[in-house]
Structure formats: structure tokens, C-alpha cells
């Protein structure tokens, strides 16, 4: 396509609008709904949120159970719609932060977006 002055003026007009967006809406959830054990739908991955900000996660398909001493532990915090998990290695003690955006949270269901995918979880107890 051949570049013309008109097209350039049109681009100068349109492009700034490309970078204009609405502010993110402020959504918050009740963290007490989070307390309990959740299972990711369609997988064998579990998350358990305990009051006090600690939690466990494990995948039974990889021979790890809730009672296993090696089950991965984390601390969590819920700020507006961002559920932050802070993991620390057992021996290496490297810190890993995982922020998930809560899309839905009720007493029985939970849905979050990891940045790559949206995951739905159900409370199992």
C-alpha cells in the first residue's frame, strides 16, 4: 500500500485513541469465602486456604497428598481482586510470588485468571 499524506493524518488521529483505555474497575471479594479446600475443575490439583493467611497446594496425580510433609506451603493475601500467593522453598528458600486475578468467589466456587488461563475451582469441604 502506498503511503499518502491523508493516510498519515488519519493515522495520527487514530493511533492516540489506541492507547486510551478505561480505568480498571475496583472489585473486591470477601476473603472468608476463600477459607477451605478447593479443587481445580478438571484436574487433581487442590488448594487449601487456612485462616491466618497460610495454605497448602498439591496435586494428587503426582502422588502428593494433603497430609504429606512435602506438600507445598504458601502464604496468601487477598487485595481487591488480586489473590497473591507467596511460596518459599523448603531448602533453597527461594521466594516465588503468584498473583491471580479473582473473577468470582463464593462460598462454593472460585474462578481466577492466572494470566495464561482462567481456572475454576470448587470447594470440596
Partner 1 sequence: MNKWLKITLISIGSLLGLFFVVVAIACWLVFTPSRLTGIVNSLSDKFIDSETHFENVDFSLFKTFPNAGIAVSDFYVVNPMDGAPSDTLLCVEQLTVGLNVMEFLRHGNIQVRQLVLNNADANIFIDADGNNNFSIFPSSEDTTEGEPFRMPEEIDIQSITICGLNCSYVDMQNVIVTDVKDLSLDLSFSLQEAKTGKGNIKLNIEHLDFCQTDDSLQTSLVATLDNFALKTSGTVTDLSLGNISIGISADSLGFSQLSQEKNELISTRLYDFNSHLKAKGDLHIVDGSVDLKLPKANLALDGSALINDALCSSQDNLLELSVPFTFNLDSMEFSTEQMTVALDQLKLLLKGVVSLSRQDRPMQMNIDYATNAISIRHFLPYVPDLYSDVLKDLSVDAKLSLDGKVDGYFSGDTLPVVTCDIMLADGDFSYAGIPMDLKQISANIAARIDASKNGLSNLNIKKIQASYRHNTISLNGRVDDLMGKMKIDAALKGNVSLDEIMPFLPDSLPLSAKGTSSIDIKVKTSMDQLTQMDIKNMKMDGGVTVSNLEVSYDSISIISPSVQVSLDLPSQHSRLKTPELADITISSSHLDVNMPASQANVILKNAYFSVGVSDVMNAMSPISAALKVSVENTEMHYDSIDVVVEDLHLAGNVTHDSAQSNIIYQWNPSLSVAFSRTSLFMPQMPEALRLASFQFDYMPGHCEIAEADIHWGLSDYHLSGTVDNLEDWLDQTKQLYAKVNLVSSYTDVDQIMDLVSGMGSDPDTLEAMRQEDHVSPDANPFIVPRDVNIDFNTNIKRCIALGNDLSNLSGSVSVRDGKVVLDQVGFACRAARMQLTGIYKSPRPNHLYLGVDFHLLDIQIDELIDMVPFVDTLFPMLASFDGQGDFHLAIETYLDAKYQPKVSTLLGSTAISGKDLVVLPGETFNTMAKYLMFNKKTENKIDSLDVEATLFRDRIDVYPFLLSIDKYQVCVSGIHSLDNACNYHLELLRSPLPLRLAIDVKGSLNKPQIGLGKVIYNDLYNPEKTDAIKTRTLEIKKMVREALESNVK
19 lines the binding site for partner 1 (CB under 8 A): yes
15 lines the binding site for partner 1 (CB under 8 A): yes
Question: Interacting stretch for partner 1, rule CB under 8 A, among 2-10, 29-37, 61-69, 102-110?
Answer: 61-69
22 lines the binding site for partner 1 (CB under 8 A): no
Cβ atoms within 10 Å of 105's Cβ, excluding its own? 21
What is the three-class DSSP state of 21? Answer: coil
Long-range contacts for 42-46 (Cβ within 8 Å, ≥24 apart)? 46/124
Q: Which is nearer to partner 1, 6 or 18 (CB)?
A: 18
38 lines the binding site for partner 1 (CB under 8 A): no
**CA gap 92, 26 in Å, rounded:** 37
Amino acid at each position: 500500500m502506498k503511503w499518502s499524506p491523508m493516510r498519515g493524518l488519519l493515522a495520527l488521529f487514530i493511533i492516540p485513541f489506541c492507547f486510551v483505555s478505561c480505568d480498571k474497575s475496583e472489585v473486591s471479594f470477601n476473603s472468608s469465602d476463600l477459607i477451605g479446600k478447593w479443587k481445580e475443575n478438571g484436574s487433581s490439583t487442590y488448594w487449601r486456604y487456612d485462616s491466618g493467611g497460610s495454605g497448602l497446594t498439591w496435586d494428587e496425580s503426582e502422588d502428593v497428598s494433603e497430609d504429606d510433609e512435602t506438600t507445598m506451603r504458601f502464604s496468601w493475601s487477598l487485595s481487591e481482586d488480586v489473590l497473591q500467593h507467596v511460596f518459599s522453598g523448603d531448602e533453597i528458600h527461594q521466594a516465588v510470588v503468584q498473583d491471580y486475578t479473582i473473577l468470582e468467589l463464593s462460598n462454593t466456587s472460585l474462578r481466577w485468571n492466572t494470566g495464561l488461563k482462567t481456572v475454576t475451582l470448587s470447594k470440596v469441604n
